[in-house]
């Protein structure tokens, strides 16, 4: 299967459940361990918008990296 760039919410959820490896900023991570939506600060008109973040588990260290879903690549398993 081809790699998935700019994944949808459903593709992120599937990758999380299957513990699929992902790449961000040239580094491969073990899997996605979190997916959340957060509100922005109100704009000049008082409106808030939501933005998404994913939490990526490191392969070699006990750490988590927060990234924009649009900047990750999900490495699909066969």
Per-residue pLDDT tens for 10-58?
999 999 999 999 999 999 999 999 999 999 999 999 999 999 999 999 9
pLDDT at 2: 82
> Of 31, 25, 30, 33, which is closest to residue 72 (Cα–Cα)?
25
- 74 strand-pairing partners: 4, 22
Q: 32-64 as b/e, with b when 16 or more CB fall inside 10 Å?
A: beeeeeeeeeeeeeeeeeeeeebbbbeeeeeee
Enclosing domain of residue 66: 4-74
State how many domains the chain has: 1
Residue 8: pLDDT band by 50, 70, 90 thresholds? Answer: very high
Please state the rounded mean pLDDT for residues 50-67: 94
pLDDT at 1: 62
The first and second tokens of residue 37, run together, are 């939506």
The first and second tokens of residue 24, run together, are 């961000």
């Amino acid at each position: 299967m081809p790699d998935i760039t700019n994944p949808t919410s459903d593709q992120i959820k599937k990758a999380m459940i299957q513990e699929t490896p992902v790449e961000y900023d040239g580094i491969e991570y073990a899997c996605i361990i979190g997916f959340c939506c957060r509100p922005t600060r109100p704009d000049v008109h008082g409106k808030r918008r939501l933005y998404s973040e994913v939490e990526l588990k490191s392969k070699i260290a006990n750490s988590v990296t927060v990234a924009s879903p649009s900047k990750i690549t999900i490495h699909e398993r066969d």
